[in-house]
Structure 1
Amino acid sequence: MKSEIWKFIKSKKGAIGIGTLIVFIAMVLVAAVAASVLINTSGFLQQKASSTGRQSTEQVASGINILEVQGMHNTTNINRTAIFITPNAGSAPIDLSQAVVMITDGKKKLVAKYNVSQHYDLRNGGSLFEEVNWSGLKSTDFGIVVIQDADGSCKNITPVINKGDIVAIVLNTTTLNMGPRSTISGNVQPEFGAPGVISFTTPATYLDDTQVVRLQ
């Protein structure tokens, strides 16, 4: 029985020839093309994921931190307001020319954008409220007063703040009701990242001998 099986196996010959060679080459080519597609796709997805992750991290980490809000009153209303800001820890540079300031007294809302002519530098000292040309500052504009800027990034045309910079955004708030015990809210919204939140209640009374008050 075994000898018959052995003879049967020995009588079988492999199919060889040009047809078999063509089939083999075709299989190799198909496998190569499939592998190339997979490699290219995986590379593209990796780059896309890396870019998305970087942008997401930048979006989450970036933003504006409000250090303090000061106001100057005329005994009845705060008509000059300064918002001291700095970037959040780990934030990407923020272009303030693309930022928007929104502030409301509950009835009226002020929306202001950067006015390139309202740019001041107090890195060598001085009085903020005396330095600003308030008569030239409309309620729809905000100006910038540079307090700290080691690398000079916060320029007139492109005021960009980065790590360690401190600037004051100045607003003409005459049109808002910011009398005693007024509730004020709003934010400083950068082009990307988290906004700086404004929320305070004005003092119960305004004293003649203290024109500049801390609000937040």
Structure 2
Amino acid sequence: MRVFEFLRGKKGAMGIGTLIIFIAMVLVAAVAAAVLINTSGFLQQKAMATGKESTEQVASGLMCLGVTGHNNGSGIDQLAIYITPNAGSAPIDLKNTKLFLTYDGQSHVLTYGGYTENTSNATNIFDYSVGWSAANSKSYVVGIIQDADTSLKNGVINKGDIAVLLVNASAVFNTTIPTRAEVSGEVQPEFGAPAVIDFTTPPAFTQTIIELQ
């Protein structure tokens, strides 16, 4: 009889041990599941944020609508660079937008120098006297062409806006740009694609206002 009681006691002890192991496995599985859920949630958020930033980087940017130059008799002394956002672009802060220009072995970086409005209703962009007086060798001035929500006054260009960058070329390059000269550059926003500038001046300047690009 004692032998059977002993065996029954051993089975009870084994059952308790098995139960402890089972509970431990459940706890481990629960902890592992919680870790996996938290990790998957974190990765999902990171993936969404990365996807949004990637889409913004690819879709956003600036487009160059054209470049005109002013001939003062000895060469091009002023440049007017027209820009607008790409289709689907997010708003772009021009205060953090750089203008890169290269001519005759010189490379210059110009920064935002404020904005100007056509208060005198001038039909010629080169008559924006207030804006041109502020453009210098280090900065460009943003002329407002089209801005329904007045965002350009805060230095932000968005959907539907058209701006012109006023560049004092003679101050930037310390000389006027002659005929048959190659000029390149880009308007590089804080994010997104840049507006490309690439033109060669004509073999002869026959007009005061010259379309370059």
Same fold by TM-score greater than 0.5: yes
1:77 is matched with 75
CA contact (8 A) 2:83 2:162 kept: yes
1:190 is matched with 189
2:38 is matched with 40
Contiguous gaps of at least 5 residues in structure 2: 1-10
Distance 1:124 1:37, change over 3 A: farther
Distance 1:103 1:31, change over 3 A: same
CA contact (8 A) 1:142 1:171 kept: yes
- Could you give the per-residue CA deviations for residues 113-142 of structure 1, whole angstroms, max 9, x where no partner exists? 1113xx112399433211133344211110
CA contact (8 A) 1:105 1:177 kept: no
Distance 1:86 1:178, change over 3 A: same
Distance 1:79 1:124, change over 3 A: closer
| Count of paired positions | 198
Q: Which amino acid in the other structure matches residue 93 of structure 2?
A: D
Q: Distance in 2 between matches of 1:107 and 1:177?
A: 14
Q: Which amino acid in the other structure matches residue 132 of structure 1?
A: S
Q: Distance in 2 between matches of 1:85 and 1:202?
A: 20
Shift of 1:203: 1.6
Q: Distance in 2 between matches of 1:71 and 1:48?
A: 47
2:160 is matched with 164
1:103 is matched with 101
- Could you give the per-residue CA deviations for residues 51-78 of structure 1, whole angstroms, max 9, x where no partner exists? 1111111111111100010110112211
Structure richer in helix, relative to its length: 2
3-state SS of 2:64 partner: strand
Distance 1:95 1:176, change over 3 A: farther
Q: Distance in 1 between matches of 2:27 and 2:119?
A: 68
CA contact (8 A) 1:76 1:206 kept: no
Structure 1 residue runs of 4 or more that deviate by more than 3 Å after TM superposition: 13-18, 122-125
Distance 1:151 1:123, change over 3 A: farther
Alignment pair present for 1:28 and 2:26: yes
Tell me the C-alpha RMSD between the 2 structures: 1.9
Q: Distance in 2 between matches of 1:60 and 1:122?
A: 33
CA contact (8 A) 1:102 1:110 kept: yes
1:129 is matched with 126
TM-score normalized by the length of structure 2 = 0.86
3-state SS of 1:22 partner: helix
1:8 is matched with none
Q: Distance in 2 between matches of 1:124 and 1:62?
A: 33
3-state SS of 1:154 partner: helix
Q: Distance in 2 between matches of 1:176 and 1:27?
A: 80
3-state SS of 1:52 partner: helix
Q: Distance in 2 between matches of 1:93 and 1:164?
A: 10
CA contact (8 A) 2:84 2:157 kept: yes
2:8 is matched with none
CA contact (8 A) 1:76 1:180 kept: no
TM-score normalized by the length of structure 1 = 0.85
